[in-house]
Amino acid sequence: MFVKICGLSTAEDVAAAVAAGADAVGFVLTESPRRVAPGLVRELVAAVPEEVLTVAVFREEPAEYVRAAVRAAGVRAVQLHGNNPATAFAALSDLGLPLIRATSAATAAGADCGDFGEDLLLLDAPVPGAGEPWDWTELGARPPAGRWLLAGGLSVANVGEAVAVANPWGVDVSSGVEVRRGVKDPALITEFVHAAKSR
Ligand X SMILES: O=C(O)c1ccccc1N[C@@H]1O[C@H](COP(=O)(O)O)[C@@H](O)[C@H]1O
Q: Can you tell me the distance from the alpha carbon of 8 to that of 27, in angstroms, rounded to the nearest whole number?
A: 6
Comparing CA positions, the residue from 32, 11, 28, 18 lying closest to residue 73 is 28
Q: Can you tell me the distance from the alpha carbon of 133 to that of 130, in angstroms, rounded to the nearest whole number?
A: 9
Among residues 74, 98, 114, 131, the one that binds ligand X under rule CB under 6 A: 131
23 touches ligand X (CB under 6 A): no
Among residues 17, 25, 28, 163, the one that binds ligand X under rule CB under 6 A: 28
Min CB(83)–ligand X separation in Å: 13
6 touches ligand X (CB under 6 A): yes
Q: Can you tell me the distance from the alpha carbon of 51 to that of 110, in angstroms, rounded to the nearest whole number?
A: 31
The dihedral formed by the CA atoms of 50, 29, 103 and 91, expressed in degrees to the nearest 10? -80
Closer Cβ to ligand X, 7 or 18, answer by number: 7
Beta-bridge partner residues of 117 = none
113 as an active site residue: the answer is no
6 as an active site residue: the answer is yes
Interacting residues with ligand X between 33 and 72 (CB under 6 A) = 34, 57, 59
Among residues 8, 29, 151, 196, the one that binds ligand X under rule CB under 6 A: 151
DSSP for 142-168, written as a single string: -PPSSSEEEESS--TTTHHHHHHHH--
Binding positions for ligand X, rule: CB under 6 A: 6-7, 26, 28, 30, 32, 34, 57, 59, 81, 102, 122, 124-125, 128-131, 151-154, 172-176
Active site residues: 6, 124
